[in-house]
Amino acid sequence: MEIGTKQAPFPRGAGVLLPVFSLPSPQGIGTFGREARRFADFLRAAGQSWWQVLPLGPTGFGDSPYQSFSAFAGNPYFIDPGLLAGEGLLTREEAGGSARGRDPARVDYAALYRDRFPLLRKAFARSGSADAGARRAFCAENAGWLEGYSLFMALKTHFGGREWLAWPEDIRLRRPAAVERYRAALRGETDFWKFCQFKFFGQWRRLKAYANARGIRIIGDLPLYVSLDSADVWTHPELFQLDESRRPVCVAGVPPDRFSAGGQLWGNPLYDWDAMRGDGFSWWRRRMGAAARLYDAVRIDHFIGIVRYYAVPRGSKTAEGGEWRRGPGEELIRALAAASPGAGVIAEDLGCAVPEVEALREAAGYPGMKVLEYAFDSGGGNPNLPCHYAPGCVVYTGTHDNETLAGFFRRAPRETVRFARAYLHVRFRRQLPAACVRAACASAADTAIIPMQDWLGLGNGARINRPATVGGNWRWRLRPGRLNARLAARMRGLCGLYGRLPAEEKTEKEK
């Protein structure tokens, strides 16, 4: 299999997985403001090289970043009101008032939906001609997705938040006369959504530049699938497996697995890969190019779906009745490589071992993933055990879908705990989480990514997501004051001990 130029390996280093929404802030949710910069400063002090985030798109059903209204747009909740106040678009009282009284450890999405958009509308109303040239340039540069997204969101607001499949037929089917009529009628509303994207990307670029200047690179997350209720499906129905009424023929999911006995029924529409192949995967090339501009490296979620995907008939109650179908494989990988030469990619290749997936990943030079929580349940041959790692992989103690280490070992079967204690050479169950963090750092994996919860030793109350469930997920927040010099020194010590300090720091020590 020949992909072309292989991706260069990642330098040996370490990083922290922390979603933006989990950052502390006085805004009810993490933002791109002061606390995000403080976190970048903390990572530098802790000897880290990477900050891994979850998808940054606007969240829809279930508040999941993997069910976004757009594969290209950013989440308006992450726009920092304090920074808007600094521009004179909000008062200090307005910027700090909407989140008072909220639980600093949990995101309240209902309250955010109620309070945040009126605040952003105030800022928009006051923006006038400020940054007019920059805003016009941004809109022109991103017109390919921004025009469709802004109209989609304006229509969603106009129709009371209903999904686009419930809109009147003429606009649901995007008949040209209806599109022009609504675009003219909702021009002020579409301008508001463009303003939100202008501010989102401006604040993110400045935050990323701040982190990069301190030696911290950003790993973003690219979900393989998009939400059915998204601007992407509404504006490009020809790229998806839909019937005449624009409803999915089959939907995405996975068969029964460790998370669910009935499989996971995600409900995303499936791509029409033949249609995408017909125009050289142009939508995917644009998407990958946008991600490469947004991040320093990208984790492709559910990488297996590029080789083969699981199709579940629409209307199924579980994912058990689906079937595997062939995906585009190396054709798509070649297109992605051409769209973003030099961009770092991590392949989320977890799940059932599929030789074709491993061959494609290796041909592209993408590092795969190892997860320590999966390592201790099947004996010494388990490929997630650190003794089997080789350079060219990324090790995680757990992902956003896993329990925290403390929660996992508290609930793990006795046999799993016994094997883990023997493997990690510790006497007590309570010592296992810290031993796993150490094992990840000591391993041969190029990169070790540790969720912030595992550095802090938190239990399952700090879990991010429980797969195959809806409601109560994506809410955990880091309490103010948890990141301190003592923790930074401990993290830096492990990175130094196992050769994971950033390259410039290693060079300084050698001098």
Joined together, the tokens standing for residue 500 give 């994971």
pLDDT value at residue 510? 44
Joined together, the tokens standing for residue 407 give 């929660």
Joined together, the tokens standing for residue 305 give 């779906």
Encode 206-225 in three state secondary structure.
HHHHHHHHCCCEEEEEECCC
Cα angle 67, 97, 188; round to 5 = 55
Choice among 152-161, 164-173, 239-248, 333-342 with the minimum mean pLDDT: 333-342
Q: DSSP of 444-489, one letter per residue?
A: S-SEEEEEHHHHHT--GGG----TT--SS-S-B-PPTT---HHHHH
Joined together, the tokens standing for residue 329 give 């494989």
| Element of type H or E holding 509 | helix 503-510
Residue 27: phi and psi, rounded to 5, are -100, 5
Which tens digit of pLDDT belongs to each residue from 425-446? Answer: 999 999 999 999 999 999 999 9
State whether residue 269 is helix, strand or coil: strand
pLDDT value at residue 470? 85
Cβ-contact 293, 234 below 8 angstroms: no
Instruction: List beta partners, residue 222.
Output: 300
Nearest to 271 by CA among 346, 326, 316, 216: 326
Which tens digit of pLDDT belongs to each residue from 349-396? Answer: 997 778 999 999 999 999 999 999 999 999 999 999 999 999 999 999
Residue 246: phi and psi, rounded to 5, are 75, 20
Does residue 75 have a pLDDT over 80? Answer: yes
Is 301 one of the catalytic residues?
A: yes
pLDDT value at residue 373? 97
Tell me what the mean pLDDT of segment 250-262 comes to: 85
pLDDT value at residue 1? 57
State whether residue 325 is helix, strand or coil: strand
Joined together, the tokens standing for residue 251 give 């939907």
Encode 397-441 in three state secondary structure.
CCCCCCCCHHHHHHHCCHHHHHHHHHHHCCCCHHHHHHHHHHHHH
Instruction: List beta partners, residue 300.
Output: 222, 347
2 Cβ neighbours under 8 A, 6+ residues apart: 363
Q: Fill in the DSSP letter of residue 80.
A: -
Cβ-contact 367, 50 below 8 angstroms: no
How far is Cα 401 from Cα 314, in angstroms, rounded to an integer? 25
Choice among 41-45, 111-115, 203-207 with the minimum mean pLDDT: 111-115
How far is Cα 186 from Cα 151, in angstroms, rounded to an integer? 8
CA quadruple 117, 56, 271, 150: dihedral sign: positive
Is 348 one of the catalytic residues?
A: yes
How far is Cα 483 from Cα 383, in angstroms, rounded to an integer? 33
pLDDT value at residue 425? 98
110 Cβ neighbours under 8 A, 6+ residues apart: none
How far is Cα 312 from Cα 318, in angstroms, rounded to an integer? 8
Q: How far is CA 109 from CA 73, 94, 102, 278, in A?
A: 19, 19, 11, 40
Choice among 2-6, 249-253, 330-334, 344-348 with the minimum mean pLDDT: 2-6
- Whole-number average pLDDT of the chain: 94
Which tens digit of pLDDT belongs to each residue from 278-326? Answer: 999 999 999 999 999 999 999 999 999 999 999 999 999 999 989 999 9
Tell me what the mean pLDDT of segment 108-136 comes to: 94
Which tens digit of pLDDT belongs to each residue from 193-243? Answer: 999 999 999 999 999 999 999 999 999 999 999 999 999 999 999 999 999
State the CB neighbour count (10 A cutoff) for residue 387: 12
Burial of 379 (0-12, 13-18, 19+ CB in 10 A): exposed
Does residue 507 have a pLDDT over 60? Answer: no
Joined together, the tokens standing for residue 116 give 């945040």
Looking at the chain, the whole-number percentage of residues with pLDDT higher than 70 is 97
Torsion region of 347: left, alpha or beta (phi above 0 gives left; psi -120 to 50 gives alpha): beta
Which tens digit of pLDDT belongs to each residue from 173-189? Answer: 999 999 999 999 999 99
Joined together, the tokens standing for residue 15 give 């990083």
pLDDT value at residue 382? 96
Tell me what the mean pLDDT of segment 264-276 comes to: 95
144 Cβ neighbours under 8 A, 6+ residues apart: 286
Q: For the whole prediction, is pTM greater than 0.85?
A: yes
pLDDT value at residue 511? 43
Tell me what the mean pLDDT of segment 66-84 comes to: 97
Does residue 473 have a pLDDT over 80? Answer: yes
Residue in 189, 348, 403, 446 annotated catalytic: 348
State the CB neighbour count (10 A cutoff) for residue 149: 25
Burial of 395 (0-12, 13-18, 19+ CB in 10 A): buried
pLDDT value at residue 490? 98
Cα-based torsion angle of the residue sequence 216, 223, 157, 197 in order, rounded to the nearest 10 degrees = 30
Does residue 2 have a pLDDT over 70? Answer: no
Tell me what the mean pLDDT of segment 258-269 comes to: 85
Joined together, the tokens standing for residue 316 give 């199924």
pLDDT value at residue 99? 57
Residue in 301, 373, 403, 454 annotated catalytic: 301
